[in-house]
Structure 1
Amino acid sequence: MKFDLHTHHFRCGHADGNIRDYIEAGLSAGLSAIGISDHTPYFGSPEEQAYPRIAMAKSELAFYVDEVLSLKKEYEGRIDVLLGIESDYFPQYAELYRTTLARHPFDYIIGSVHYVADVSIFNKGRWKGLNRSDQIAAKTEYYRLIAESARSGMFQILGHIDAMKGNYPAFSEIPAPGPLDDCLRTIGESGVAIEINTSGKTKLSGGWYPSDAILERALHFGVEVTFGSDAHKPSRVADELDDVAARLKEIGFKHWVYFKQREKVTVAL
């Protein structure tokens, strides 16, 4: 069985195509299930659409849910359309996000840390002028936030857990093995899955999130894995899915998972 749980569409303001386009791409790729998981609105902002080029407007959320559920019915028997969403993790707004998202019948929620110290993890400028101690502190805080998101109980999946390397490949060389292992241990204990996300190829780092080295540590700590292309255009749906499955087997994983009605479904690799 093949699936892809991480896709976006036009509502977020930085992806191409509509939801139907991604479902059709999933059918063409031979998927049994496709998850639609656009970015949550910025619920903590007083503005209706705080960042039009990053996330949907608050008023769009209900339309998004209704559209996915309608298409789920339409495509029933051909492909399983799963209602997901990618949620930012902001500790100060965690309960607001939790209660707002609980109003909708999501099959799963992807929790992603996109900001550390109020600066985007993809902002290349955040690393300018930092000494090694400052770099270690930033990486440590990143993994602390990811671990906190795993403990929150808000998410079934954690998104792209080393994406801070995306526009700063040297991130991977910053020595912080303790915080990373602590994070992976927490994820394993929390029963949350991490995604293998193939969108790293669209950033300066190239490759996948997370790295093979992190996946090897994740296996050691009993972390479950899933797959998400993080497609922002339909042509990337299921991108490198078979390659990821093969690499996971080489590392030692026997299965991966997806989620339906918040329940974990195990699929042999």
Structure 2
Amino acid sequence: MLDLLDVHTHTIASVHAYSTLREMITAAKEKGLSLIGISDHAPAMPGAFHEYYFCNFKVIRRDAYGIDLVMGAELNIIDFCGSTDLRQDLLDRIDYAIASLHAPCIKPGTREQNTAALIGAMKNPKVKIIGHPDNPKYPVDFNMLAKAAQKHHVLLECNNSSYTPGGSRKGSRELAGELLTACKKHGTMIIMGSDAHIDLDVGNHQYAIEMIKKYQFPEELVINNRPELFKKWISE
């Protein structure tokens, strides 16, 4: 599978990550990616930088590194309506947003509540990706999620970190099949994300690819092989 982009990555601005912006970009270039996105955690995550971090991306020259660069954020969903933790005026300054459910920011609800939270977040036009939707701590209705993602022009993520043996989201591998089956049924596009917190993991989609092959998911519904389509996707 041709794999040319990774847009779920974290730098030292996420505090619990360990590489700089330049180190992450350099790693992406060395690994042959065509596009990298930086998506540091928004302020509700404990230890994350102040919201001002997201107000000055204009100083980052996107053409300076010899690789396409987009600057985003991983938003924390903070209620079951899908509200997130970055003001709209700051969202307007970034290229894209991932919206995710994280235990430090919202306690798991019922299947219906968790599904409503993710679908609610999709309604924000800046949210282009739902992060690790197959986290077993937050059970969801995958058919409803896939249908809503198709409707709202949102990508559902196959998160490599979730599928890594010994990772923090145990049980995600077992749920990946349900996610991919629902996306296949509804023609919903997905994206592989490394969720890299260090430069060594940039572009590492080994286990996500394993899941995609295991469940015979069609490659034409995986956006990672089309950087130009992704850039168009986040601009619409």
Q: Tell whether 2:16 aligns with 1:51.
A: no
When residues 191 and 61 of structure 1 are mapped into structure 2, their CA distance, relative to the original with a 3 A threshold, is: closer
Q: Tell whether 2:39 aligns with 1:37.
A: yes
Report the alpha carbon displacement of residue 193 of structure 1 after superposing the two structures with TM: 0.8
- 2:199 maps to what in 1? 234
Q: Which amino acid aligns with 2:31?
A: A
Report the alpha carbon displacement of residue 140 of structure 1 after superposing the two structures with TM: 2.6
SS class of match (2:63): helix
Task: Decide which of 88, 99, 113 is 1:99's aligned counterpart.
Answer: 88
When normalised by structure 1's length, the TM-score is 0.71
Q: Tell whether 2:184 aligns with 1:219.
A: yes
Q: Tell whether 2:75 aligns with 1:87.
A: yes
Task: Decide which of 145, 148, 156 is 1:186's aligned counterpart.
Answer: 148
- 1:73 maps to what in 2? 63
Which structure has the bigger radius of gyration?
1
- Give the count of matched residue pairs: 223
When residues 218 and 189 of structure 1 are mapped into structure 2, their CA distance, relative to the original with a 3 A threshold, is: same
CA distance in 2, matches of 1:23, 1:5: 11
Report the alpha carbon displacement of residue 148 of structure 1 after superposing the two structures with TM: 1.6
Superposed, which structure 2 residues align to 1:1-269 within 5 Å?
2-42=4-44, 51-52=46-47, 55-63=48-56, 65-66=57-58, 69-70=60-61, 72-75=62-65, 78-91=66-79, 94=83, 97=86, 99-104=88-93, 106-115=94-103, 118-119=106-107, 138-163=110-135, 165=136, 179-200=141-162, 201=164, 202-203=167-168, 205=170, 211-241=176-206, 244=209, 247=213, 250-257=216-223, 259-260=230-231, 262-263=234-235
Q: Which amino acid aligns with 1:250?
A: Q
Say whether the 8 Å CA contact 1:41–1:61 is kept in structure 2.
Answer: no
SS class of match (2:204): coil
Report the alpha carbon displacement of residue 108 of structure 1 after superposing the two structures with TM: 1.5
Post-superposition Cα deviations, 1:128-186, rounded to whole Å, max 9, x if no partner, equal xxxxxxxxx623321221122223334111111022x2xx5xx77xxx7xx33222221
Report the alpha carbon displacement of residue 98 of structure 1 after superposing the two structures with TM: 5.0
- 1:47 maps to what in 2? none
When residues 95 and 36 of structure 1 are mapped into structure 2, their CA distance, relative to the original with a 3 A threshold, is: closer
Which structure 1 residue ranges, 5 or more long, are not aligned?
43-49, 122-136, 265-269
CA distance in 1, matches of 2:114, 2:129: 17
Say whether the 8 Å CA contact 2:193–2:205 is kept in structure 1.
Answer: no
SS class of match (2:196): coil
When normalised by structure 2's length, the TM-score is 0.80
- 1:132 maps to what in 2? none
What is the percent sequence identity of the aligned residues? 23
CA distance in 2, matches of 1:238, 1:93: 28
> What is the root-mean-square deviation in Å for CA atoms of aligned residues?
3.1
SS class of match (2:191): strand
Say whether the 8 Å CA contact 2:39–2:73 is kept in structure 1.
Answer: yes
When residues 204 and 36 of structure 1 are mapped into structure 2, their CA distance, relative to the original with a 3 A threshold, is: closer
